[in-house]
Chain A
Amino acid sequence: MEVAVNRRWNVNGQEIEVTFNSGDRLLDVLRNDLGLMGAKEGCGEGECGACSVLINGELKLSCLQLAAVLSDGTAILTAEGIENTRQGPLLQETANRNGAVQCGYCTPGMMVAMYWLMEHPKIPAGQGLSGNLCRCTGYKALIDTVDECRRILAGKKDGDMT
């Protein structure tokens, strides 16, 4: 039997409180209860990555994530929250300039994966994006965007230190 679950999370930097059914997927809670439509359902079974979010810094598929198991205090980052991060605007603008955005349906999930790759600079871009399908771009522009942003961010860091 489904029961109502109440949680306090930090979503995109904001403390929120939400009540949902115990069987709900995180994707449904984000979209239906929190009105965050960035994460998309492209397959509903963990194959396409359109629903990607970060949960406590880990790249996760929200269509496979039972919401109820995320305890109070869990930090969730969705595509909508990326703009307000340090690397966000750079990633978004570079992606657009490079032609890494076409139809845009994979894009929110891609941006989350790309953001995660900025935090994990050792993982090759092609490998890091391999859980996210894009049918439009052929991936080259996406991979180039990750590489370019990494170069820029690494440069900035070096600059900071001198």
Chain B
Amino acid sequence: MRNWCGEPVPRVDGLDKARGRTVYLGDQSLDGALFGVLVRSPVAKGRLKKIYWDESIDWSGLFRVEAEDIPGQNCVSIIKKDMPCLAFDKIMYLGEPVALVASADLGLARSAALTAKQDIEPEKPLLDIRQAVEKYRQEPQSDGLIHSIDIERGDVQNALASSDLIVDGEYWTGPQEHVYLEPQVVAAIPRGDKIEILGSMQCPYYVRPAVALALGMPDENIIVRQTPTGGAFGGKEDFPSSIAIHAALLAQKAHAPVKIIFDRQEDISFTTKRHPSCVKLKAGVKADGTFSALEAEVLLDGGAYTTLSPVVLSRAAIHACGPYRWRDVGVKARTLRTNMPPYGAFRGFGAPQVHFAIESHVDEIAARLDMDPVELRKKNLLREGDQTATGQVLKESVSAVACLESVSRAADYAAFKKKLEHVQSTRHKKYGLGVASFWHGGGFTGAGEEHIAAEVAIDLMEGGRVQVAISSTEMGQGERTTIPQIAAQALGGIPLDLVSCDLPDTSNAPDSGPTVASRTIMMVGALVESCCMDVLAYLKKVSKTRDDEQIADWPDAVGRALKGRPKIRFAKKYEKPPDLKWNEERHVGDAYAAYAWGAVAARVSIDMLTMETTVDDIWCTVDAGKAINPKIVEGQVQGGLVQALGYALFENLQVSEQGAFLQNRLQNYIVPTSMDTPGLHVELIENMYSRGPFGAKGVGELPMNGLAPAIRNALRQALGQAPNRIPMIPENLVEQGLAGNTGG
């Protein structure tokens, strides 16, 4: 009997991947499959009157679909139903799909799609968050809002008026592209009255109802199977639903399997990205550094349609005050509509944007008070028993201070600060060390987990084999390894190789919810653990094992339970703990069941001639509760940090006057390489969460939150003034007047 939780066991899917044997959907040939391509609108806004096809070409073997051919509802259903699968009448962004073409020959499909002439009456688009913010500030009640959330606690105006010091600031963040290495890919295969969808995805049970609605079919007739997924990071949360519908529409028309594969340029140009943001903060502080009141205006660019923006906004609003104690809070959060492809989920989901603002702002407050930024944070960080902006009392597993102390110790913060006074003034290179604290709520916000009502199942099979059936997906984060570790341990420490967790198939796996929101281990893992406890109790009964004893012969006990059947299934459904309360309308109450915590320090140098920033070392300590597989947790933190490094320093997306992203290939959209990887010093603190599986919380998104402001704060120290906009590419630093100051 073994203790699996806490073991850095190698991933179950790792060796196949290393041997080049894993078959991704693009590697799979489907009998008789056609390739589907999208016809996209050439303008960002307008009225589409008609599509003319070139009938002089040979259309035999070619299939096409327009909006009027859609048998069900013409929408990609997620939170709202405002986004059409194929635009008709209204064009809302450049590249919006208006029609589909399929052929066995990809080249032919592409050239046929190019013959489509769209008769469009163009209108003036709103493309940029700057214009959108300006418009919103002039007329806040306009129709340009996708969603609004207000959080109020105490009396923020009064509290600001009676503060010793008021600090204002405004912070901007740009869009970020996921660059999962495997571009979007999906296939639809007609099977009698059913349609099977294969795809690289995070959420099979988002795809299923979306396809069913558009095709006018019952949910059960859509079978969704996840294929090995080459990275996702949120980019395969809602987006696959839309191309799954496209493939299904074509497959139905052609009575043949249809595959849609994006190349990198199409992928960067037209799929979701992290929401750009503008966050305005006004903080009221006491002379001794105690935080008292915070007023925040959080504006996100949502792009053309609602998609996931309301929930992204909610997470942004709740995390906007940072992991700090404020007595009075007023948050006004809005998602603005622009004529850009809808912005969507990306690791962190609204939290990285507001962390950039609040963590930069804390350093501004420290500067005004002439206080050390680490000391100022320690004074105000949330502790057990404190209340968050939504009035949630933090009852357990709070590690904000411990993480910050660990990081400043590891980075030798005090010594560095001393040394800096000598090196700074003599070089054309300047140095800085910046810190940031961060947090991340695990699981869906508010009543989200209750609405999802996740279900898991455990199948017992011959030979004592155990299969965990859940819709949670493996996308590189280690779910197929970590979930079996939880199950093997909960079943009494049975051999790990008896337990498996396959890629989900909706005809077998119950809906355990989408693979998002750092919820797979914390929420789904907890259900798996509790389901396993039912299994264990049952097996002890049939094998006549006493409660306090181990089952002596596991395969035999399972055999007795099976009684000759090939398998038996146990199931468990989420039940909301009675003490969690949430008021969605007012955004008051227990926003998350538990929070993960972290702190990060970055040591940077900046070349004053080129204004290029180099990050030399990153120290990061996180508390995500029990690290079920410490190697995997560490990998999540390291990978998240390097994504955050790109977000902070390189990943720049500009929008052309027509509404296209200027950086739409890997030649000009720059992500970190191995040469950019600084020293990564990660430490884990395990502050157990009582309802998590063996004490675990979520870790997937957390490491994305703090690094950008830590780098910014390091630059502040180096330059004396700070950029308030990311990415902090040299051009942006120059534009903000930070160049040329080599005096020190």
Contact = CB atoms under 8 A, between A and B. Distances in A.
> Do the two shown chains form a genuine complex with each other?
yes
Interface of A: 31, 37-45, 47-48, 50, 78-80, 82-83, 91-93, 95-99, 101-108, 111, 125-127, 129-143
Contacts of A98: 631
A135 B671 contact: yes
Contact of B181 (A40, A138, A143): A40
Interface string B292-328: 0000000000000000000000000000000000000
Contact of A139 (B21, B640, B642): B642
B476 A136 contact: yes
B667 A108 contact: no
Secondary structure of the B contact surface, majority rule: loop
A138 B666 contact: no
Given A37-B27, A45-B666, A140-B677, A101 B11 contact: yes
A80 B21 contact: yes
B47 interface: no
Given A103-B475, A127-B674, A135-B233, 7 more contacts: A41-B26, A43-B666, A101-B14, A104-B228, A107-B20, A136-B639, A138-B635
Contacts of B635: 99, 102, 136-138, 141
Contacts of B638: 137-138, 140-141
Interface of B: 8, 10-11, 13-24, 26-27, 178-183, 228-233, 263-264, 475-478, 631-632, 634-635, 638-643, 665-667, 671-675, 677, 680
Secondary structure of the A contact surface, majority rule: loop
A24 B324 CA distance: 59
Contact of A105 (B182, B233, B640): B182
B456 to A, nearest CB: 23
For the complex of A and B, list the 10 residue pairs with the smallest distance between their C-beta atoms, beginning with the closest. A103-B476, A105-B230, A38-B20, A104-B17, A79-B20, A96-B14, A138-B642, A47-B666, A37-B27, A138-B638
A95 B18 contact: yes
A140 B680 contact: yes
Contact of A103 (B229, B641, B642, B666): B229
B675 A48 contact: no
A133 B181 contact: yes
B22 A104 contact: yes
A98 to B, nearest CB: 8
A90 to B, nearest CB: 11
17 contacts: A40-B230, A42-B181, A42-B666, A45-B667, A48-B666, A95-B14, A95-B18, A96-B14, A102-B231, A103-B229, A104-B476, A107-B20, A126-B674, A127-B675, A135-B180, A136-B635, A141-B638
Given A45-B666, A47-B665, A93-B15, A105 B674 contact: no
A62 B183 CA distance: 18
Contacts of B631: 98-99
A38 B674 CA distance: 21
Contacts of A107: 17-18, 20
Contact of B680 (A43, A48, A138): A138
Contacts of B22: 104
A139 B667 contact: no
Contacts of B478: 102
A133 B666 contact: yes
Contacts of B666: 42-43, 45, 47-48, 133
B677 A139 contact: yes
A70 to B, nearest CB: 20
Given A102-B478, A107-B18, A129 B182 contact: no
A130 B264 contact: no
B264 A83 contact: no
Nearest to A91: B18
Nearest to A105: B230
A43 B178 CA distance: 14
Nearest to B631: A99
